[in-house]
Structure 1
């Protein structure tokens, strides 16, 4: 009787499955004879007896996958070489260099890359797909290794987007085909560092690879830039998480009871341009431009928050983790709650709930649908409008709400001063960007003070 035992190859790419055939006669054969006579390869439903034949098949049918995996492994080797060179130049001890010079890092990275042998190149590179938004706070001892793995993983699956990694966890938003994003999710939740994650932790929206200009993966001190050392204000001290159902009930009670309204603050911890086009009714939306301004905003408004119950929300939940922890660290609030999964998860269950307008996202879409209502208006004429575009002046990164009629008139900058600067630069044909700060940014109050 002949039996067949599968053996998984430890190659960076798993295109071919190698099988060794065992039989009573083979048990007495030498290892060399077994290798020559009893080994064959199977791929795409075909069996190959010679190495030359399987190599030809792989080159003909799987070249895109081979090139993709090869590129990822070569990049890994280049990064390792750079680290070793840096260690040598700075005189680090031999043992530290040895930790990086072996194959452990390469194995750890490649071991967690998915098998894509059953997926065609076209299935991984179609334009239509989705965008994933996720985060996971957890202890990561070697964030650079995770950075290398994420880079290899995203390139293997032809994904674009942004991934931030630190010792406190990972935060990402990536776009690609649904086949690719499914493989990405599976790879994430299969990794031992992210074993507490589930498929429900990934927020999905219609989009794809074209929602981002490229892929950016990096290591940072904070996975969401609040500007406070994670060791001083930790996600572990965050507010109480409320499910979308629980949050909905509290917001509903808040809208019906004036007494509760006096004791509770529904706090939007996003930036002003996000809350401008969509927010929860009766919420407090601080007029801040960056999340890194949020700690100063809290510090300047401690009396306003004193003794209050706080219901905090943001896009996907990650800013609330650190934001609520910072607010709690001040010891002035009665209770601090946060919306688990953010607005994204709330809208999945309550598309016609208390959130009105669009949901701002940090990619080339700028917004995703939330409700039918438009709560914002054109900056120039006041017409209802919620479609952002970048300021037309090359040096300015502000977002502009300018309706079609105003855009046809050439009103495409964030303010009149910026409009004139852009016009002057265009007429001069110098091509040199104007470095002065935009007028509307310069005049904006950095840290607003709320009235008690």
Structure 2
């Protein structure tokens, strides 16, 4: 089913700006992704409805008419629609979403889709390493590591790979998270040096992963205790950007630069005072990551989730127009899809990405242009290669970059609170949470399995998609 079919018979002009604002429905993870897809399609369709090729050359000079304005640039109409017609786009999104759900339900009633038949089970035991010569203590005690890796490639049977990964990690007493998809694998696991070395060797001996090099596995000091458990699953994307991988593929990614090449590019940018009109140094991570560590003079979007990145690009196209973009993230994986998405907008002059991410850059340049801590998604929260502290305590503004969880019950926001402030009970992420923590007399975060995160003042006041002035 082509996505354009969903919009072929919708009357866009029936959506009026005077109708009451509707809240986005509360959905499961799968349906949220579907809703995000419909939202992007609705936005594109609404913009297309304002296009009038009769006002200019039909090939090279389209114009858009909206709200008694003539808009000559795609970025201008995108910004106008995002700022002025959010209600109409939301309503179109919801109509499309319901229609798509109905179509999917109809197809589900017709019977199983092609390829949904039961496949013959694959014997994964031959893919597991022989550990008979090792004791449980060899695998569980001693110095530890945390591995971070990914590989994009075609996976025809992700469920078998998922079962193998789960069995492999359990056999080696590893904890962490592994995401498997038809587009590849993304993992971060912790265990002893012995166990993680066997894990790398086993991965590289598998036919699907033998193209991986040892350097593709980024390592740092840690261990199994950096994660609370082991989670291995099959997902649509190995990094959740919220865009179908068949629409924006990693194969369309930007040009990779090794740490030395990236370092030279940043050096050239900084020699111009960091204010080059021709180059943008773009941090593809979330705001709480860039807050405690970043490259000097970078553009760090104030977004809470990577799935907000596409909308951020859509609403800030002028920031990248005719520019060379130098892009980076933690280990490189987010840049693969982020660079492909940015390139799909056809506004940039060039798009480059740091191969291996900040992890590999810091191995080569521990005292280079990246300052502060590197945020990691495990119990450590951050690792460091230099002594710089670029963030501060939210209460007293003293230099501080050690995250801890908000101490209000069921709130999982991260907070920067220095020892002095924590000593007097300032341990919450925002004023409402601090009041609740005092009232409840809690001293630690207790997360109930069926509870949702609270809506906190510190997140509620943050725009979902900030707009940066060009």
TM-score normalised by length of structure 1: 0.75
Q: Give the aligned partner of residue 463 of structure 2.
A: 445
> Would the alpha carbon gap of residues 295 and 148 (structure 1) be closer, same or farther in structure 2, given more than 3 Å must change?
same
Q: Give the aligned partner of residue 86 of structure 1.
A: none
* CA distance in structure 1 between the aligned counterparts of 2:117 and 2:241, rounded to whole angstroms: 34
Alpha-carbon distance, 1:127 to partner: 5.2
* CA distance in structure 2 between the aligned counterparts of 1:232 and 1:355, rounded to whole angstroms: 33
Preserved contact between residue 161 and residue 216 of structure 1 (Cα < 8 Å): yes
Preserved contact between residue 412 and residue 453 of structure 2 (Cα < 8 Å): no
* CA distance in structure 2 between the aligned counterparts of 1:195 and 1:422, rounded to whole angstroms: 51
* CA distance in structure 1 between the aligned counterparts of 2:432 and 2:117, rounded to whole angstroms: 55
Preserved contact between residue 159 and residue 175 of structure 1 (Cα < 8 Å): yes
What aligned pairs does 1:51-450 form with structure 2 within 5 A after superposition?
99-100=119-120, 104-105=121-122, 107=123, 109-126=124-141, 128-258=143-273, 261-426=276-441, 436-450=454-468
Alpha-carbon distance, 1:446 to partner: 1.1
* CA distance in structure 1 between the aligned counterparts of 2:345 and 2:433, rounded to whole angstroms: 39
Preserved contact between residue 427 and residue 434 of structure 2 (Cα < 8 Å): yes
Preserved contact between residue 274 and residue 297 of structure 2 (Cα < 8 Å): no
> Would the alpha carbon gap of residues 259 and 424 (structure 1) be closer, same or farther in structure 2, given more than 3 Å must change?
closer
Alpha-carbon distance, 1:422 to partner: 2.8
Alpha-carbon distance, 1:96 to partner: 6.9
Preserved contact between residue 287 and residue 302 of structure 2 (Cα < 8 Å): yes
Preserved contact between residue 264 and residue 311 of structure 1 (Cα < 8 Å): yes
Deviates more, 1:416-425 or 1:236-245: 416-425
Alpha-carbon distance, 1:259 to partner: 9.0
> Would the alpha carbon gap of residues 199 and 435 (structure 1) be closer, same or farther in structure 2, given more than 3 Å must change?
closer
Alpha-carbon distance, 1:201 to partner: 0.1
* CA distance in structure 1 between the aligned counterparts of 2:158 and 2:372, rounded to whole angstroms: 37
Preserved contact between residue 296 and residue 447 of structure 1 (Cα < 8 Å): yes
> Would the alpha carbon gap of residues 435 and 285 (structure 1) be closer, same or farther in structure 2, given more than 3 Å must change?
closer
**Which has the larger Rg?**
1
Specify the SS of the correspondent of 1:171. strand
> Would the alpha carbon gap of residues 398 and 334 (structure 1) be closer, same or farther in structure 2, given more than 3 Å must change?
same
Alpha-carbon distance, 1:436 to partner: 4.7
* CA distance in structure 2 between the aligned counterparts of 1:194 and 1:291, rounded to whole angstroms: 26
* CA distance in structure 2 between the aligned counterparts of 1:97 and 1:273, rounded to whole angstroms: 44
Specify the SS of the correspondent of 1:132. strand
Alpha-carbon distance, 1:156 to partner: 0.3
* CA distance in structure 2 between the aligned counterparts of 1:176 and 1:421, rounded to whole angstroms: 37
Specify the SS of the correspondent of 1:347. helix
* CA distance in structure 2 between the aligned counterparts of 1:327 and 1:243, rounded to whole angstroms: 20
Alpha-carbon distance, 1:439 to partner: 1.1
Preserved contact between residue 421 and residue 434 of structure 1 (Cα < 8 Å): no
Q: Flag structure 1 segments of 5+ consecutive residues without an equivalent.
A: 1-89
